[in-house]
């Protein structure tokens, strides 16, 4: 599934719809360059999970936790020195814990991801206007195929 958003508000809205469908144990791997819109999407996901307050990039902390009913583990692998640092953070407790995990720069730790997860590539569109972003969703595993079908029903894919 591919969606083009026009402006951060639309990406946030899309993230909110996704967040509304997520359940504990879900893993969302975000891939895309600096300023692509990964954090904006996670802000929307947080809203969809019913988390109040502002979600910011965890770049310097690598992981931040939000929410109570369904915790959101927001990770950013950008500044990771390597997989060992993820091990030290105890990443498995998050991946297999009782919350939703969202990982920015997930391409840096692909080898550590479980077999099943939702990948979202966020990028600029070719020849698009400023503020256009393309989001490409790839499900790995049946859970995420089902999730995407559900999301498609909630998203206006445009013409």
Ligand X SMILES: Nc1ncnc2c1ncn2[C@@H]1O[C@H](COP(=O)(O)OP(=O)(O)OP(=O)(O)O)[C@@H](O)[C@H]1O
CA 139 → CA 23, 90, 117, distances in Å?
A: 15, 25, 6
Smallest gap, in angstroms, from Cβ of residue 54 to Mg ion? Answer: 13
Q: Are strands 2-6 and 132-140 parallel, antiparallel or unpaired?
A: antiparallel
Residue from 3, 5, 74, 75 touching ligand X (CB under 6 A): that is 5
Toward ligand X, which CB reaches closer, 115 or 157?
A: 157
Residue from 15, 19, 37, 48 touching ligand X (CB under 6 A): that is 37
- In the DSSP assignment, the letter for residue 24 is T
Residue 5 phi/psi, 5-degree rounding, is -110, 150
Residue from 48, 104, 108, 121 touching ligand X (CB under 6 A): that is 104
Within 56-75, which residues bind Mg ion (CB under 5 A)?
Answer: 57
CB 79 within 8 A of CB 109: no
CA dist 18 and 152 (Å) reads 10
The answer to whether 39 contacts ligand X (rule: CB under 6 A) is yes
The answer to whether 34 contacts ligand X (rule: CB under 6 A) is yes
Alpha helices for 7-95 (secondary structure H):
8-19, 38-48, 83-89, 91-95
Toward Mg ion, which CB reaches closer, 57 or 138?
A: 57
Smallest gap, in angstroms, from Cβ of residue 147 to Mg ion? Answer: 22
Distance of CA 12 to the CA centre of its chain: 11
The answer to whether 155 contacts ligand X (rule: CB under 6 A) is no
User: In the complex, which residues of this chain contact Mg ion (CB under 5 A)?
Assistant: 38-39, 57, 104
- List residues near ligand X by CB under 6 A: 5, 7-8, 10-11, 32, 34-40, 57, 78, 104, 131, 133
């Amino acid at each position: 599934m591919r969606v083009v958003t026009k402006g951060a508000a639309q990406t946030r809205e899309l993230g909110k719809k996704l967040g509304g469908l997520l359940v504990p144990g879900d893993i969302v791997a975000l891939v895309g360059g600096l300023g692509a819109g990964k954090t904006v999407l996670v802000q929307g996901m947080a809203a969809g999970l019913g988390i109040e307050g502002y979600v910011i990039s965890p770049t310097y902390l690598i992981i931040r936790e939000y929410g109570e009913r369904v915790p959101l583990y927001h990770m950013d692998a950008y500044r990771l020195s390597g997989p060992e640092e993820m091990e030290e953070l105890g990443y498995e407790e998050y991946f297999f814990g009782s919350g939703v995990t969202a990982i920015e720069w997930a391409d840096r730790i692909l080898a550590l991801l479980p077999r099943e997860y939702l990948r979202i590539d966020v990028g600029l569109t070719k020849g698009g206007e400023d503020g256009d972003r393309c989001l490409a969703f790839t499900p790995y595993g049946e859970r995420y195929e089902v999730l995407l079908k559900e999301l498609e029903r909630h998203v206006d894919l445009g013409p």
